[in-house]
Chains A and B, each alone.
Chain A
């Protein structure tokens, strides 16, 4: 069952680059969407929610495309500290207690 799919990467980019990740989901009834960041050997932490109109938080922009059933995360001006795994998470809506996690996309930012 591959309800949420991400390119595992790794994406290897220089500092200052712009990088984008996509995540596709299969359940058209999905209602809420999130990006998490996970550092090596640490727990996932919420990076940002994804809203229908798109949203931005500093260097990070999240977009939702319901018609094509994907969400995206854009990181501008990459920093070394952005190196991590980025997890896409989808909630399927009322009555569903279980969010579905993608397996994550690995980002390596090098000097």
Chain B
């Protein structure tokens, strides 16, 4: 069974802090994704990566960056957290045209 693990279920940070969200998958998937989900807006893609050290912007990359130094790990970075980045963050991985597998999600609150 595919396991996608996000480092925190709940996180509270302050405005202006640099925030790191970590995601690890154990199935050797090439493709990894970061989404945020807000009520009424559905899943919105922030960044994705199709290989180590490769990254592509999604629909809402502003205020975020990512890092993929190893195949199994994909990190999302909030450079300077703001209150409008309070959200549920979801990491997913997949290979080929297979369905994505999601982590449990991180509920991030920025105060």
Contacts and interface: CB of A to CB of B under 8 A. Distances in A.
B57 to A, nearest CB: 11
Interface residues of B, number: 23
Interface stretch (B41-49, B60-68, B78-86): B41-49
Interface stretch (A17-25, A62-70, A74-82, A91-99): A91-99
A103 B104 contact: no
Interface of B: 31, 33, 40-43, 45, 48, 50, 56, 58, 88, 90, 94, 97, 99-105, 107
Interface of A is mostly: loop
Contacts of A27: none
B99 A34 contact: yes
8 contacts: A43-B90, A43-B104, A45-B102, A89-B99, A89-B100, A97-B48, A98-B48, A98-B58
Interface of B is mostly: strand
B103 A43 contact: yes
Interface residues of A, number: 23
A85 to B, nearest CB: 10
B90 A97 contact: no
A42 B48 CA distance: 21
